[in-house]
Amino acid sequence: MSEQQPPAKPWSGRFNAPTDAFVEAFTASVGFDRRLYRQDIAGSIAHATMLARCGILSEAERDLIVAGLERIRDRIEAGDFAWSVTLEDVHMNIESALTGDIGEAGKKLHTGRSRNDQVATDIRLWLRDEIDAIAAELRRLQRALLNLAEREAETVMPGFTHLQTAQPITFGHHMMAWFEMLDRDHGRMADCRRRLNRMPLGAAALAGTTFPIDRAYTAELLGFDAPMENSLDAVSDRDFAIEFTSAAALVMMHLSRMSEELVIWSSAQFGFIELADAFCTGSSIMPQKKNPDVPELVRGKSGRVFGHLMALLTLMKAQPLAYNKDNQEDKEPLFDTVDSLRGSLKIFADMVPAITCRPDMMRTAALKGFATATDLADYLVRKGTPFRDAHEVVGKAVAYCIDQEKDLADLTLEELRRFSEAIDTEVFEVLTLEGSVAARNHLGGTAPGQVRAAIARARQRVDD
Ligand code: ARG
């Protein structure tokens, strides 16, 4: 007989003494796994529906269970549900409340399942929804980049290697590089979702159940592609969490690179762009400051997501099959990964459309640092000079320019011809920034026409 005391633990039968109070708090997960309540209830409704269809529950019992679970969901959403640490986790809290509400039928819900297959199912259902939201956010950011790329398809800026002036590029081309990074991320998320969408339920504790269940039916009710093949694997696998966190770490790494460039570009020294006031903050002491806090914080948040990836790998390392309590530690890193990633993507997708470009500043910067030196070398090659000799000639011309404090385009034909007689008057077209970008006119090149073609192809990809 169970007494009318604090809620009885569903597993208390074989115990004579109560759990140590600190052990109870230490082993409980309800403080964080209550976040899975919707998935837990959806999984239980599908399980009960399947049990009734297989004749394991009566239809009346199923109806009581389903209605009871829906009432609990409403109560949780209304903030009218008392979570109990004594009841350890979200699963036992909900089951206990159900039995309190509908009586005997509630006690039958756990037939043919275990918390081990239940929790594995809940996390997969939860992460599946989160991946869908993340994929949509990635697309929103990608579209914002496409619009910015289109707007600035002709805007010339210096391209860098080693953060030293390399060759002129268009701002649109740079935005399309970011787009491609995110497009691979979108693909990785889709890939992860495909492997994740298998159902553990029916594995029960580890070996399956003695009841004549229909796993394919439960899987169909929950939108899984299929039940998992092996019951031991079903309850012990957390590959999907690691795979997701690794894909998330890559997105964050990409966002940190974008952040770094936004921070550099918005500095007074570069002045290539301005971020909207709504995405910056001031300084409490320096009145002139407008700090790019948002990209800085996103850059910083990449670190915690990388840490979660290492935490999850280490969590799973060397665990014997099948379920171990260690696995309860999968949730907080996973939840924080999702929160950090979704927040970062949202803020980027909101911030990017509000970026103002300063083409004059980009142009001035592109004119410094001899960005068209390669164009001059290529010109000489077209005139019959071997590339290595052309490289040498232009190197000497650059040294001369540095000495004279001039740009290559400022030199007279006379001066240029001192370095190579192959040089003619049409060389000046080659030395302009516009001529330089327009000349890189092939698939993947920076010419404005190529950037526009890349944008058109990309629009089709994101609309698929
Ligand atoms: N709270 C547990 C977890 O998150 C649920 C599964 C517990 N199963 C068990 N046999 N103790 O992993």
Kindly give the number of the ligand 1 atom that is closest to the alpha carbon of 29: 1
pLDDT, tens only, 40-72: 999 999 999 999 999 999 999 999 999 999 999
Output the domain CATH number for residue 54.
1.10.275.10
Residues 143 and 288 in one domain: yes
CB 129 within 8 Å of CB 42: no
Query: Is 189 near ligand 1, meaning CB less than 6 Å away?
Result: no
**Distance between CA atoms of residues 98 and 78, nearest Å:** 17
**Distance between CA atoms of residues 275 and 224, nearest Å:** 43
Residues 328 and 450 in one domain: no
Which of 159, 187, 178 lies closest to 349 in space, CA to CA?
Answer: 178
Residue indicated by tokens 């470009």: 357
Which of 36, 83, 93, 116 maximizes ligand 1 atoms within 8 Å of its Cβ, making it the mutation to test the pocket? 116
Residues 6+ apart with CB under 8 A from 179: 142, 145, 146, 149, 458
* 2 is a domain residue: no
* 69 is a domain residue: yes
Last residue of a domain, one of 311, 342, 363: 363
Residues 272 and 411 in one domain: no
- The model's pTM is 0.94
Residue indicated by tokens 């039940």: 227
* 8 is a domain residue: no
The pLDDT of residue 97 is 98
How large is the angle between the packed helices 37-53 and 59-77, nearest 10 degrees? 170
Indicate which residues carry an active-site annotation: 162, 283
DSSP 17: S
Q: In this structure, what token pair is assigned to residue 226?
A: 């299929």
Kindly give the number of the ligand 1 atom that is closest to the alpha carbon of 33: 4
Q: Checking DSSP bridges between strand 164-170 and strand 198-199, what pairing results, if any?
A: unpaired
Residues 348 and 373 in one domain: no
**Distance between CA atoms of residues 35 and 106, nearest Å:** 22
Query: Is 116 near ligand 1, meaning CB less than 6 Å away?
Result: yes
Alpha carbon separation from 372 to 72, 384, 409, 426 (Å, rounded): 69, 19, 9, 15
Residues 401 and 349 in one domain: no
Q: In this structure, what token pair is assigned to residue 395?
A: 């190197």
Alpha carbon separation from 433 to 424, 440, 453 (Å, rounded): 18, 12, 21
Residues 199 and 290 in one domain: yes
List strand residue ranges (DSSP E) for 44-124, in order. none
Instruction: Kindly give the distance from the C-alpha atom of residue 56 to the centroid of ligand 1, in angstroms, as a whole number.
Output: 25
Output the domain CATH number for residue 383.
1.10.40.30
**Distance between CA atoms of residues 257 and 55, nearest Å:** 57
Query: Is 115 near ligand 1, meaning CB less than 6 Å away?
Result: yes
Residues 129 and 83 in one domain: no
Residues 200 and 265 in one domain: yes
Instruction: Kindly give the distance from the C-alpha atom of residue 116 to the centroid of ligand 1, in angstroms, as a whole number.
Output: 6
CB 243 within 8 Å of CB 195: yes
Nearest CA to ligand 1 atom 11: 325
Last residue of a domain, one of 314, 334, 363: 363
Nearest CA to ligand 1 atom 3: 328
Residues 153 and 22 in one domain: no
pLDDT, tens only, 346-405: 999 999 999 999 999 999 999 988 999 999 999 999 999 999 999 999 999 999 999 999
Which of 89, 315, 316 maximizes ligand 1 atoms within 8 Å of its Cβ, making it the mutation to test the pocket? 89
The overall longest dimension of the chain from CA atoms, in Å, is 106
Residues 418 and 446 in one domain: yes
DSSP 320: P
User: pLDDT under 50 in the chain at which residues?
Assistant: 1-3
**Distance between CA atoms of residues 290 and 102, nearest Å:** 59
Last residue of a domain, one of 339, 363, 387: 363
Output the domain CATH number for residue 242.
1.20.200.10
Residues 354 and 372 in one domain: no
* 43 is a domain residue: yes
**Distance between CA atoms of residues 188 and 248, nearest Å:** 9
Calculate the CA 97 to chain-centre distance.
Answer: 36
Q: In this structure, what token pair is assigned to residue 14?
A: 């074989």
Instruction: Kindly give the distance from the C-alpha atom of residue 119 to the centroid of ligand 1, in angstroms, as a whole number.
Output: 7
Query: Is 119 near ligand 1, meaning CB less than 6 Å away?
Result: yes
Residues 146 and 43 in one domain: no
Q: Checking DSSP bridges between strand 226-227 and strand 273-274, what pairing results, if any?
A: unpaired
Please classify residue 253 by burial: count the beta carbons closer than 10 Å to its beta carbon, then call 0-12 exposed, 13-18 middle and 19+ buried: middle
* 390 is a domain residue: yes
Task: Please list the residues that pair with 168 across neighbouring strands.
Answer: 158
* 444 is a domain residue: yes
* 65 is a domain residue: yes
Residues 6+ apart with CB under 8 A from 455: 146, 149, 150, 153, 172, 176
Residues 6+ apart with CB under 8 A from 328: 29, 33, 89
Query: Is 328 near ligand 1, meaning CB less than 6 Å away?
Result: yes
CB 45 within 8 Å of CB 71: no
CB 137 within 8 Å of CB 178: no
Q: Which domain holds residue 36?
A: 18-111
Task: Please list the residues that pair with 159 across neighbouring strands.
Answer: 167
* 410 is a domain residue: yes
Query: What percent of the chain is helix, strand and coil (3-state, nearest 5)?
Result: 65, 5, 30
| φ, ψ (nearest 5 deg) of residue 168 | -70, 145
Which of 282, 113, 130 lies closest to 200 in space, CA to CA?
Answer: 113
Structural domains counted in the chain: 3
